[in-house]
Amino acid sequence: MTQNKWFTTGIAGAGFVDLPRQAMSYHKFSYLNYVPDYARIESQQNRMIKSLFENYQGYLDNSPIYHLKKLSKPILLWAGKDDDNIHIDQSRSFFIGMKRLGKKGILLEYANEKHNLRSQENQLDLNVKAWQWMDFYLKSNKPSEWIRPMLE
Which CATH fold would you assign to the domain 10-18+63-151?
Rossmann fold (3.40.50)
Q: Which long-range contacts (CB under 8 A, 24 or more apart) does 21-30 make?
A: 21/90, 22/86, 22/90, 23/48, 23/51, 23/52, 23/59, 24/52, 25/87, 27/84, 27/85, 28/84, 28/85
Sketch the domain layout of the chain as residue ranges: 10-18+63-151
pLDDT score for 44: 84
pLDDT score for 85: 86
CA atoms within 13 A on the CB side of 21: 16
pLDDT score for 45: 81
- Whole-angstrom distance, CA of residue 25 vs CA of residue 22: 5
Rounded to two decimals, what is the model's pTM?
Answer: 0.91
pLDDT score for 30: 57
pLDDT by 10-residue block (mean), the chain, 152 residues: 89 94 80 78 89 97 96 96 92 97 97 96 98 97 95 85
pLDDT score for 104: 96
